[in-house]
Amino acid sequence: MPTVKKDIQETSKKISQVKKIVKKRVEALEYGDVQQTPISAGTNWKDLEFSKPEKTIRIGTMFSGIGAIEHAFQRLGLKHKIAFAGDIEPNCKKSYFANYNIEEKDWFTDIRDFDAKPYARKVDFIIGGAPCQAFSMVGKRLGFEDARGTLFYEFARVVKETSPKVFLFENVKGLLNHDKGRTWRVMHDIFEELGYTVYFRVLNSKDYGIPQHRERVYCLGFKNKNTKFEFPAPIPLEYKMYDFLEDYIDTKYFLKEKGIKFVTSQKNREKCYTQINGDIALCQKRNQQFNWHGDFVYHPDSKLTPSDETFDDFIFDVKDVEEKYYLSDKVKKYVLAGGTKNFKTSTKTDLDIARPLLQSMHKMHRAGVDNYVTHKGRIRKLTPRECLRLMGFRDSFKIVVSDTATYQQAGNSIVVDVLIALLKQMDITKYGV
């Protein structure tokens, strides 16, 4: 039979179907909007129990920073093993190795040089927050390979090579609107192309126990196509920013500074209103739950000490703040200036909910950018430890780098408490081994 010459303009039923599919995807990219996943209306995440606490979750992280997800696992007391981690910033490696158990062979510096294939099917949960360069939208390319040259591609590549049961991708809120939403649509389509059911939503840390305005998009991908997921519902904010700066309480049974002053005052003790570690209990009152009169017990060796990582307990030591954190008169005039000409900025200090923490906090910006507090009659900036607290890191986290590096690491991290809410909501133990 003579060979049939195929023309570039040839049409067929199959070609027409492909064209329809391509056209549909392009139209979706141009005009469509991927809707955010709803918030759960079921049992609140704080009341959820892990179904398989005996399981070990193998985790791998990219752009690991100071290990927010690793600290979340520590605070929850969950069994876990770090399969791999990495960050291009040398100081991050110092902080990471000081706080987590990982072998040198499992650490990488540049994600672009990391071969993840040896970890295939050896990791259950992958997490990362890649700095996202814009995609080139020339030709309306939608495929996995067309994302090459971006750090997002490296995240997606590692997901493809390791095939985890679940992945979490975190990024700035503005990603959803970049290039009229097209950039996010490309990312979303690539995750689905890799075989994952995708859920995403913008969450604010102030809705999950941390008094800081910090909105980020959280995207979860599940290998099991039948997985149904809704994001954890917000909880009432129990603490203010100032609660992270002085001596703070782990539970409702421990007194804050005002209560301690009342209970320990000589006047109240002489009048037998209060006592601490008494041999014989004072007369108990029916409204004891609501006042500070009565018996109090001092617990120097309480299980709820700063070394305990119970996720919803806040215990912070009272510490003297070094002089270097206080603002000089010259610097104070700058950071508390209301603005010049047409530029105006907020000069409020002592906020109940912190402004977003920045990686450049060591530079002391205007009050409309950074957080400042009054302390002992003076104004100061937040200390590195306080910044870590406002990112959900307990005081058990070891600081082994300079103040400047710690500020940068805190400002670039994911908020641990939001991760805890996600881990509980999805019941991460179901994906362990």
- Tell me the C-alpha distance between 143 and 34, whole Å: 17
Contact 197, 224 (CB under 8 A): yes
Write out the two tokens for 234: 């917000």
Pairing of β 57-62 and β 372-375: unpaired
User: Residue 210: is it exposed, middle or buried by C-beta count within 10 angstroms (0-12/13-18/19+)?
Assistant: buried
Contact 274, 293 (CB under 8 A): yes
User: Residue 347: is it exposed, middle or buried by C-beta count within 10 angstroms (0-12/13-18/19+)?
Assistant: middle
What is the enclosing helix (H) or strand (E) of 425? helix 416-426
- Tell me the C-alpha distance between 65 and 141, whole Å: 31
- In this structure, what are the phi and psi dihedrals at residue 26, rounded to the nearest 5 degrees? -65, -40
What is the enclosing helix (H) or strand (E) of 191? helix 182-193
Nearest to 275 by CA among 264, 287, 261: 264
> Greatest CA span in the chain, whole angstroms?
113
- In this structure, what are the phi and psi dihedrals at residue 171, rounded to the nearest 5 degrees? -160, 180
Cα 3 off chain centre by: 62
DSSP state of 326: B
Amino acid at 274: T
Catalytic residue positions?
Answer: 132
The DSSP code sequence of 339-389 is EETTEE-----S-SSBPPP-TTGGG---TTTS-EEEETTEEEEPPHHHHHH
